[in-house]
Chains A and B, each alone.
Chain A
């Protein structure tokens, strides 16, 4: 399994033909207490860089962009009842959705963990 990061503070776990997407610990720290996550419908085809989900705190709503193109296969139902999972476990239990991968060259240019860490340190 490989984990990639985007400069929009999303992480992507790749396992076989499936990618799992969420937001990073750094992102949840910036957003504060998450009160709601709006997830895409299963079956939606999303394009890299376009709106895929919305994550809301009390005073802000932030778009989460699709890190790669593909079709949404599953969303994290646990976030419906407990959006705070994004705060407590952003990079594990607080995942957003799973999607198909299609073209693997899409991962070119994304960061690995070390690169993302130094990216955040520079912010």
Chain B
């Protein structure tokens, strides 16, 4: 038959006179598939359990009088109730699986399910970190193989695999710099950080005992090379630069910056949060970078999981390579991958590195985020050299497509200075008085999108940073552009309904002032009080 879609309707077709959310109140507070869910503490019971375990009975114990006597207050649920509780909660979340997630600087790309399957292979998931090395050769090979590709992709000399997340990687890099300076008896006090940097940069430098000073930016959104050169001197331990930077621009002068910092005796740390824009196209090592963390949960697609876990291996230049943390893996000429821990670090260094290894210590128990390594390695092997280059190209193409499709309706402060990299930056210039970036962002929620990054970088007023990533189709981008255009037009026209957006989300705007003034951070039973 030739009439498969008789109504002619498809999503987006206006329906006259109908508002899907209008209608009577319901007794449950639910609205069909939009389901409310109580807290575990309101539905569970301390006598309920969803796990079958034997009744302990009473026997002798070796707890030495430390047995618990008081109730703990942990309610339980049976398995069906548990599955339902969390399934209902899950439906109150936006996720990359549901749609485009344009959070600038966060690289929310598709998470391949092959990687989940691989991470759960018993040989990876069910292995203890302190098993004898002969029983974990495959795990060491995974670490070493991933390390090898990270080194090749960045053009660096070595990589520290143990940092647990991006900020932990930053700390690792800064500690390497500090160790290298101390090894040459050169105490320096200052780390320079651009104003546009992620907050983790200055926090990391301060945590490692450095004073933090700002590097000024030029009007076109890049590091001011001349001002930087003027500040360099014998007290500057290093600079932390994000490249591509948080305005979505490539730091053209990166090599000159590195040369100037090196000439002044300092080191260059690169925040690799935005590596997705250049992976397979540009090697930071060729730009004079000494250390850079790689967010495996961004560029290499390990899932964000609602805020972690991350993984932040740090690639190191030849100058910093001897100072990385313990433990590490190394492949010797016979093809064997070794695990080097405190026990054999000195001996191994003597034998294979002429004694030049001066690790700064240990940053974490065990070996880093193995569960992320397996996923990231599977991602790299799936893409290959050709695919990774295409990742960067498509990520940059998608961002520029958004930038140029919307720069007539939204102010793009750095639009005139040329193409952007993997993210497009807009400001709130031109919005009607009383309407803000926050209002536009909340209206995007009603359109079915997670908002873009708001109010970052700080150097742009009412900043909106849009990062589509390479895993979006043109159709998905076109629909997003249409939605953002519509909301931007409403913001310019002064549509007051934006101020009360979102209207259709599981919750309206939440009172963050109340949350912070009178913090309620745990469930307190009225009965238990």
Does B bind A?
yes
Q: How far is the CA of A35 from the CA of B516 in the complex (A)?
A: 6
Interface residues of A in 21-41 (CB under 8 A from B): 33, 35-36
Instruction: Specify the main secondary structure of chain A where it touches its partner.
Output: loop
Judge if B517 is at the interface, Cβ distance under 8 Å: yes
Cα–Cα distance between A57 and B516 once the two chains are bound (Å) = 8
A83 at interface (Cβ–Cβ under 8 A)? yes
Q: Give the number of chain A interface residues (Cβ < 8 Å).
A: 8
Check B513 for interface membership: any CB of A closer than 8 A.
yes
Closest residue of chain B to A58, judged by CB?
B512
Return the chain A residue nearest B513 by Cβ: A33
User: Any chain B CB within 8 A of the CB of A66?
Assistant: no
Shortest Cβ gap from A26 to chain B (Å): 20
A-contact bits for B511-525, CB 8 A (1 contact / 0 none): 011001100000000
Enumerate chain B residues within 8 angstroms of A36, measured Cβ to Cβ: 516-517
Residue A99 at the chain B interface, CB threshold 8 Å: no
Interchain nearest-CB distance for A97 vs B (Å): 20
Q: Which residues of A contact B513 (CB under 8 A)?
A: 33, 35, 57-58
User: What distance in Å separates the Cβ of A30 from its nearest Cβ neighbour in chain B?
Assistant: 15
Q: Which residues of B contact A84 (CB under 8 A)?
A: 517
B411 nearest CB across to chain A (Å) = 22
Shortest beta-carbon distance, A59 to chain B, in Å?
8
Note all chain A residues with C-beta closer than 8 A to B512.
58
Q: How many pairs of residues, A versus B, come closer than 8 Å at their CB atoms?
A: 14
For residue A57, which residues in chain B have a CB less than 8 angstroms away from its CB? 513
Q: Nearest chain-A residue to B516 (Cβ)? A: A35
Question: Shortest Cβ distance from A55 into chain B, in angstroms?
Answer: 12
> Which residues of A lie under 8 Å from residue B516 when comparing CB positions?
35-36, 56, 58
Q: Which among A33, A36, A57 has the highest number of chain B CB atoms within 10 Å?
A: A33
- In angstroms, Cα B455 to Cα A58, docked, is 14
Closest to B512 in A: A58
Shortest B525–chain A CB gap in Å is 24
Cα–Cα, bound, A84→B512 (Å): 14
How far, in whole Å, are A41 and B516 apart by their CA atoms in the complex? 22
Q: 1/0 per position for B288-331, CB-CB distance to A under 8 A?
A: 00000000000000000000000000000000000000000000
Give the docked Cα–Cα distance between A56 and B517 (Å).
Answer: 10
Residues of B close to A35: CB separation below 8 A: 513, 516-517
Binary CB contact string for chain A from 48 to 84 against chain B (1 if under 8 A, 0 otherwise): 0000000011100000000000000000000000011
Give chain B residues whose Cβ lies under 8 Å from the Cβ of A56: 516
CA distance A33 to B516 in the complex (A): 10
Q: A33 — nearest CB in chain B belongs to which residue?
A: B513
A-chain residues with CB within 8 Å of residue B517 when the two chains form the complex: 33, 35-36, 83-84
C-alpha gap A84/B514 in the complex (Å): 10
CB distance from A16 to the nearest CB of B (A): 34
A69 CB to closest chain B CB (Å) equals: 23
For window 220-249 of B, CB contacts with A under 8 Å fall at none
Name the residue in A36, A58, A83 with the highest tally of chain B Cβ atoms < 10 Å from its Cβ. Answer: A58
Give the contacts of B478-529 with A (CB-CB under 8 A): 512-513, 516-517
Shortest beta-carbon distance, B313 to chain A, in Å? 32
CB distance from B438 to the nearest CB of A (A): 10
Give CA–CA (A26, B212) in the complex, Å.
Answer: 30
| A87 CB → nearest B CB, Å | 10
Chain B residue nearest in CB terms to A84: B517
Q: How far is the CA of A80 from the CA of B512 in the complex (A)?
A: 18
Q: Which residue on chain B has the smallest CB distance to residue A83?
A: B517
Expressed in whole angstroms, the Cα–Cα distance for A58 and B510 within the complex equals: 12
Tell me the complex Cα distance, A35–B512, Å.
9
Q: Give the docked Cα–Cα distance between A84 and B518 (Å).
A: 11
A58 to B516, CA, bound (A): 7
Contacts of A83 in B (CB 8 A): 517
Give the docked Cα–Cα distance between A97 and B512 (Å).
27
- The answer for the CA separation of A83 and B518 in the assembled complex, in Å, is 10
Chain B CB within 10 A, most for which of A35, A36, A57, A83: A35
Question: How far, in whole Å, are A35 and B513 apart by their CA atoms in the complex?
Answer: 6
Q: How far is the CB of A4 from chain B (nearest CB, A)?
A: 30
A–B pairs, 14, beta carbons within 8 Å: A33-B513, A33-B517, A35-B513, A35-B516, A35-B517, A36-B516, A36-B517, A56-B516, A57-B513, A58-B512, A58-B513, A58-B516, A83-B517, A84-B517
Sample of 9 more A-B contacts, CB < 8 Å, known A33-B517, A36-B517, A58-B512? A33-B513, A35-B513, A35-B516, A35-B517, A36-B516, A57-B513, A58-B513, A58-B516, A83-B517
A binding-site residues for B, Cβ under 8 Å: 33, 35-36, 56-58, 83-84
4 closest A-B pairs (Cβ-Cβ)?
A35-B516, A33-B513, A58-B512, A35-B517
